Amino acid sequence: MQIDTADLLERFLRYVRLDTRSLAESSTTPSTPGQWDLLRLLEQELRALGLADVVLTEHGYLLATLPATSPRPVPVVAWFAHVDTAPNLPGAAKPIVHRAYDGRPITLPDDPAQRLSVESIPALRGAIGHDLITAGGTTLLGADDKAGVATVMAAVRHLLRHPGIPHGRIRVCFNPDEEIARGVDRLDLAQLGADYAYTLDGESPGDIDYETFSADTATLEIHGVSSHPGWAKDVMVNAARLAGRFLAALPMTLAPERTDGREGFIHPVECTGSAEHARVRMILRDFELAGLAAQRALLESLAADLRSAEPRARVELTFTEQYRNMRYWLERDQRPVEFGREAIRRAGLTPRSHPVRGGTDGSRLTQRGLPTPNLFCGMHEVHSPREWVSLQDMAKAVETLVHLAQIWEEKSS
């Protein structure tokens, strides 16, 4: 299968130049104006390709239809990719294309301390000879998930240019705010109208993910007693000190820097405050609901200890559900995973599945009733200035989607 890699690269380079960072503190959807910029650009491109039913909703969900080429009744399959990038670094990349990577270290020019080498990044060994794309070293590249966006666009274009390939109706959805775990919260699944879906938000060629963390957030609010420090004896209750005591009590065995594989964690991501008021925001992650419940119970116990130690303080602990392990639903119907594996094999790759130490929009979509495993699109070192992607790996992701469309048509009775 001949994928137009020049067009694929052009699209990707165009998308990553836009700063589409999401912002957790925002109350809007999308959470940032930059995401609207990319969504409107993609809307124009979908219309130019000739897709049907192109709609950009008030909450930033860009929907479109690739009409069926098969007369057979085929389940409607949706392809998803998110337009936002992680909030931790600037997102307006100055992309650099490293043609025919020769295996030597790559030093990023805007920050020479940022260096990519096969010794520190083993995945680079598999990309020797490929055309790699990086940013300059001070921003994200944005391959998470603009590699997915470009992959979906290229696959749609390929199928439109080859109408002889039989496939069912395919729905396209580009969504905002995946990086802040709100990616599909306001998506109307009836408006989407799909039976199954795939997110293009994975890493290495051949990866198909159907197991993720289950996730909650926890917020600890401590209200102390304010006083002039000169006359504070037996009066002041210092909320900042109590927050420090709480953080010190969190077991390091549950810290993300000490866990891997199938181990869960509690991660304090933000701590702010003063003597009068302090706030600690945490994320909780575990592959099993029982493990997540145990983490909640531990935090409740630590909060109770603070109340006992200083009854004059007001200590409030709240939890918010984020997403659940997609495995709980996908193990009931393995067809989307099995068909994905077959598509990967037809693309000349070996399918691999492993527990994802994170989540995807597929976690929430699956929980909401739309089975949605996650496919690779070639991104690596995400959420860091060393982020990179291989053009050839993106092309393999495009090829996988094309095969996947055919397989759903073949397997339909």
Residue type, 226: S
Averaged pLDDT for residues 216-221: 97
Q: Which of 266, 291, 323 is the last residue of a domain?
A: 323
pLDDT per residue over 148-173, tens digit each? 999 999 999 999 999 999 999 999 99
Q: Is the pLDDT of residue 413 over 80?
A: no
Which of 269, 299, 323 is the last residue before a domain boundary?
323
Verify whether residue 179 is a known catalytic residue. Answer: no
Q: Stretch 176-200: mean pLDDT, rounded? A: 95
Residue with more model confidence, 323 or 11: 11
- 178 belongs to the catalytic site: yes
Over 80: is that where the pLDDT of 243 sits?
A: yes
Mean pLDDT of 3-17: 98
CB–CB of 12/398 below 8 Å? no
Strands (E), 185-310: 196-202, 208-209, 214-223, 265-273, 277-286
One-letter amino acid identity for 370? L
pLDDT given for residue 232 in this prediction: 85
Identify the band that residue 181 occupies on the pLDDT scale cut at 50, 70 and 90.
Answer: confident
Strand, helix or coil at 148? helix
* Residue 31 to residue 182: CA distance in whole angstroms: 9
The 3-state secondary structure of 70-95, one letter per residue: CCCCCCCEEEEEECCECCCCCCCCCC
For 265, phi then psi, to 5°, come to -155, 160
For residue 275, is pLDDT > 80? yes
pLDDT at residue 278 in the model: 97
Both 353 and 219 in a single domain? no
Tens digit of pLDDT for each residue in 95-149?
A: 999 999 999 999 999 999 999 999 999 999 999 999 999 999 999 999 999 999 9
Among 134, 147, 55, CA closest to 98? 134
Co-location of 223 and 361 in the same domain: no
Mean local confidence (pLDDT), 16-45: 96
What pLDDT score was predicted for residue 253?
A: 97
In tens, the pLDDT along 323-335 reads: 899 999 999 999 9
CATH number of domain containing 397:
3.40.630.10
H or E segment to which residue 324 belongs: none
Report the alpha-carbon distance of residue 75 to residue 191 in Å, rounded: 16
CB–CB of 407/399 below 8 Å? no
Q: What is residue 228's predicted lDDT score, i.e. its pLDDT?
A: 87
What integer pLDDT is reported at residue 246 of this predicted model? 97
Domain containing 146: what range?
5-212+325-411
Same domain for 179 and 71: yes
Which DSSP letter does residue 306 get?
H
Strands 314-323 and 374-376: unpaired
What confidence category does residue 68 fall into, taking pLDDT thresholds of 50, 70 and 90? very high
The single residue of 45, 145, 177, 178 carrying the catalytic annotation is 178
> 65 and 164: one domain?
yes
Condensed to tens digits (0 to 9), the pLDDT of residues 338-361 reads 999 999 999 999 999 999 998 889
Confidence grade of residue 401 (pLDDT, cut at 50, 70, 90): very high
Cα distances (Å, whole numbers) of residue 41 to 5, 47, 48: 20, 10, 11
Options 19, 45, 84, 216, the catalytic residue: 84
Region 229-247 average pLDDT: 93
Please give the average per-residue pLDDT across 30-47, as a whole number: 98
Asked if residue 400 and residue 387 are part of one domain, the reply reads yes
- Indicate the average pLDDT of the chain: 96
302 and 335 belong to one structural domain: no
- Give the pLDDT of residue 359: 82
CB 279 within 8 A of CB 273: yes
Residue whose tokens read 């130019």? 48
Mean pLDDT of 31-46: 98
- Report the distance separating Cα 258 and Cα 253, nearest Å: 6
Helices of type H across 314-390: 327-330, 335-346, 361-367
Residue located via tokens 């959470």: 31
Total tally of structural domains belonging to the chain = 2
Kindly indicate the confidence band of residue 1, based on its pLDDT and cuts at 50, 70 and 90.
confident
Contact call for residues 80 and 197 (beta carbons, < 8 A): yes
Q: How far is CA 31 from CA 25, 36, 167, 343, 387, in A?
A: 8, 9, 35, 35, 23
For residues 286 and 357, membership in a common domain is answered with: no
Burial of 345 (0-12, 13-18, 19+ CB in 10 A): middle
CATH assignment of the domain containing 241: 3.30.70.360
